[in-house]
Amino acid sequence: MKIPASFRLAFVPALLALIAAHASALADGGPDVTHGKTYLVRPDPVFDVLAFVPDANAKGRVNIETKESTGRDKLGLTISGVDKTLTYNLFIEDPESPGAFSAGIPLSGNGGTKILKLDTDKGDVLPFSVQSLAELEGVELRVVAGTDPDEPATLYLRGKMPALGVPPQKLKAKQKLALASDEDGNAKGTIVLSSTISSGAERLFVHVSKLDFESHVFSLWIQDVDEDGLPVNTFAKAGDFVGKGSNNGVFERFTKLGDPLPAGENSAVDFAGRVVEVRDQTDTGSGPADHAYLSTLVPLLH
């Protein structure tokens, strides 16, 4: 029987797509394997309760994987940019007792990069007798140069246990900052935010120009929120701009580089609906600025 050419033309691309999908599933460990990923960040000296930053270059990432058909769970953690002479431990928060942590799980490595690998198929046991890493979603992770997870002077990195199976999606927003008054002349600014929940890559970037960085220190301030996440009439300093020449500056936080987001937030999405202000060193009150050079209401991320 002769197969019509039109059928062959339709069948071949479909077959190739099926083969590609099968190969992708095998590369990911199989069709019933789900993954999670996040980045670890340094404690924030402005907002964090544990307000000591022992290493400004430290960064880290966490990858987890679970295979439903066999119950196999894997956790991989890598940190870099840390003091190679110290010994580091991972502490995992107890999902049933917030604020309490597991015993320290040691990281290995001789240089400035340290790693940890857990694999239940190789006899490793998950903390707190949980049956799956899914039961630890959202608990706090702390990498400490020592044996006490509550010691501020030895906390290097922290984060949250990622969720499994989050579909890849990047949300973004971009907004121009508005002049506070005509007396600020030609000052300009732009805020850019992005959020990729599936990887934990969160970024807040603000660029300003035509401001006098030779005579002033400019900082970014962010509106506070209450326990329900609703904006209130107070502000907190996020940090100073880094001058780029005499009249340009940037403020950036990027979790992929180990930077903590301002205000203790875990996602750039959390800044939507809040006012940001650009102030100089003379305006440090917690209320709305007496004179903000630039400001805007942060838009929703899409």
Taken in order of first residue, the domains within the chain and their CATH numbers are 32-160 (2.60.40), 170-297 (2.60.40)
User: Do the Cβ atoms of 217 and 240 come closer than 8 Å?
Assistant: yes
Amino acid making up residue 128: F
User: Do the Cβ atoms of 12 and 20 come closer than 8 Å?
Assistant: no
User: Do the Cβ atoms of 220 and 205 come closer than 8 Å?
Assistant: no
Of 132, 137, 114, the closest CA to residue 200 belongs to 137
Q: Which residues of the chain have pLDDT under 70?
A: 1-31, 48-54, 181-184
Distance in angstroms (rounded) separating the CA atoms of residues 237 and 205: 15
Q: 105 Cβ partners below 8 Å, 6+ apart?
A: 89, 90, 91, 92, 116, 118, 127
SS3 136: helix
Q: Where does 87-174 have alpha helices with state H?
A: none
| Positions of E strands within 6-88 | 33-40, 59-67, 72-80
Element (H or E) spanning 159, and its range?
A: strand 155-160
- Phi first, then psi: what are they for 127, rounded to 5°? -70, 155
pTM score, two decimals?
0.84
**Tally: H helices and E strands in the chain:** 1, 19
pLDDT recorded at residue 186: 87
Distance in angstroms (rounded) separating the CA atoms of residues 111 and 127: 27
pLDDT recorded at residue 53: 64
Cα–Cα–Cα angle for 65, 70, 76, rounded to 5 degrees: 20
CA separation, residue 223 to residues 44, 197, 206, 220 (Å): 17, 23, 15, 10
Distance in angstroms (rounded) separating the CA atoms of residues 143 and 92: 9
To 10 degrees, the CA torsion angle through 41, 43, 47, 52?
-160
pLDDT recorded at residue 48: 64
Would you give the DSSP letter of residue 128?
Answer: G
SS3 16: helix
